């Protein structure tokens, strides 16, 4: 996944995703503009620091199906699955 800076037109790699995990299906930026939640096709949710391009946390096995949405409340990331399951990643 790449970050495009509209003010400069430059791009930089933000998240490197393994091909076996499938494509990125959901992305949501934290209110701080620094952290980003990423959901992959295999239902894995990753938390990234966009300034250091470093993966901070991973949620594996929390969902049995693809994540429907990622929502931030300050520093708390909540995931929603199409099968009505909510999980929180802090």
Which pTM value belongs to this model? 0.72
Do residues 47 and 63 make contact, with C-beta atoms less than 8 angstroms apart? no
Evaluate if residue 7 carries a pLDDT over 70: yes
Alpha carbon distance 3, 26 (integer Å): 15
Top-level class of domain 20-89: mainly beta
Please, is 5 exposed, middle or buried when counting C-beta atoms within 10 Å of its C-beta (0-12, 13-18, 19+)? exposed
Selection from 9-13, 22-26, 59-63, 69-73 with the highest mean pLDDT: 9-13
Q: pLDDT for 19-54, tens place per residue? A: 777 788 888 899 998 999 988 877 788 889 988 888
């Amino acid at each position: 996944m790449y970050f495009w800076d509209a003010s400069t037109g430059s791009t930089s790699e933000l998240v490197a995703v393994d091909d076996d995990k499938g494509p990125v299906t959901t992305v949501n930026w934290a209110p701080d503009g620094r952290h980003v939640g990423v959901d992959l096709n295999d239902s894995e949710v990753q938390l990234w620091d966009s300034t250091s391009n470093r993966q901070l946390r991973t949620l594996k096995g929390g969902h049995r199906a693809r994540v429907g949405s990622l929502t931030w409340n300050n520093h708390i990331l909540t995931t929603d699955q199409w099968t009505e399951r909510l999980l929180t990643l802090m």
